[in-house]
Amino acid sequence: MRTLQFLLQKEFRQIFRNPAILRIIFIMPLIQLLVLPWAADYEIKNIRLAVVDHDHSSSSQKLISTINSSGYFQLYAYTPSYAQAVANLDRDQADLILEIPTGFEKNMIKENETSALIAVNAINGVKAGLGSAYLQSVIREYNNQIRTAWIQPTRFSPQPVIEVTASNWFNPLLQYKDFMVPGILVVLVTMVGSFLASLNIVKEKEIGTIEQMNVTPVKKHYFILAKLLPFWVLGLFVLSLGLLLAWAFYGIVPVGNLFVLYVYAAVYLLAVLGLGLLLSTYSENQQQAMLLSFFLIMVFILMSGLYTPIESMPTWAQYLTKLNPVSYFIQVIRMVLLKGSNLADISQQLFITTGFAIVLNTWAVVNYKKRT
């Protein structure tokens, strides 16, 4: 154990003498947690709307006013013809076109039905889909208001009314920061665990000190433990720092027990440290390790459920996410912080992540060719 103790002292000194690693550990979480949650907003606002009103009635004006006051749309143009509105769409100056036909109000009163046209600039599919849905929702609400106003109340033949009450559990106000910040925190912990660990080991290959270690009587498992344990501690430190920032800047107070979260994080870090060690065994220099880490982390993040729900992915992609350790940690951190889940609730994710840790570390140790 004295050998391990001396090796750990050497590793910690080496880490704290490297200003680049210190900046990544202390400054990167601060910047990412303060900037990304504000930029990664799922709500689409300021959708530019071009209106073509052929009716010029009080009903059409009231509809336009209702849309404009919804907070989602910005009335960019009020054009006299549909062709001019399409020209705005072609120049990317408008995102949606609403055309109100002649006789809009007259048909609504006499025929009890009317129509309107919505044309969408679908270059940005997400913005187009949400913008169209928002506009249809506003028009539907406007339609309900008119029907309610026109229906005469009567005592003998009351109209059936269904009152729907919605309740949002675990995130009552649907604050996207409450579920985005924990996900970003998982990404930070993953980068510290895999990225820095792989670079640290490969750096020793480049400067030749790993060859000196290989000819010493230091046992292989001591050497590997000394390489992994400092980043395991630093990963837990980054997690603690991120939770503190989430509470200080976003008011995110964990509903569940933090002990549950740290138990899972400890196992998760073993898994990603094993991944970092594995990458280092396949890399000859820091550039190779960096590119491999970047490729895997990008795939892990995009298929983790951080930005897109896993359930909405194609079936084959959903199967691939089962091999992604990041997706399990994002599930767990949201369950613990927002829902208050306990160890029994996350037992499945904990069991799978333990399997990742065993497989990746065993693979890395076997692949590490230490000359004795």
Q: pLDDT-derived band of residue 123, with 50, 70 and 90 as boundaries?
A: confident
The residue with greater pLDDT, 14 or 263, is 263
Average pLDDT over residues 181-188: 89
Model's pTM, two decimal places?
Answer: 0.79
Range from 16-20, 164-168, 256-260 that averages highest in pLDDT: 256-260
Give the contacts of 67 (CB within 8 A, at least 6 positions apart).
Answer: 49, 73, 75, 98, 135, 138, 139
Q: pLDDT-derived band of residue 8, with 50, 70 and 90 as boundaries?
A: confident
- Asked whether 94 and 88 are in contact (CB, 8 A), the reply is yes
At residue 371, the pLDDT reads 47
Q: pLDDT-derived band of residue 158, with 50, 70 and 90 as boundaries?
A: low
At residue 313, the pLDDT reads 86
Q: pLDDT-derived band of residue 186, with 50, 70 and 90 as boundaries?
A: very high
What is the residue whose two structure tokens read 């009080």?
58
Does position 54 have pLDDT exceeding 80, yes or no?
A: yes
Q: What is the pLDDT of residues 199-248, one digit of tens each?
A: 877 887 777 777 777 777 777 778 888 888 888 998 899 899 899 989 99
When the pLDDT of each residue in the chain is averaged and rounded to a whole number, the result is: 84
For the chain, give the number of residues: 372
Q: What is the pLDDT of residues 339-354, one digit of tens each?
A: 899 999 999 999 999 9
Does position 28 have pLDDT exceeding 90, yes or no?
A: no
Does position 363 have pLDDT exceeding 50, yes or no?
A: yes
Average pLDDT over residues 183-204: 83
- Percent of residues, the chain, with pLDDT higher than 70: 94
Q: What is the pLDDT of residues 296-309, one digit of tens each?
A: 888 898 888 888 88
Q: pLDDT-derived band of residue 369, with 50, 70 and 90 as boundaries?
A: low
Q: Which domains does the chain have, with CATH numbers?
A: 1-41+174-367 (no CATH), 47-149 (3.40.1710.10)
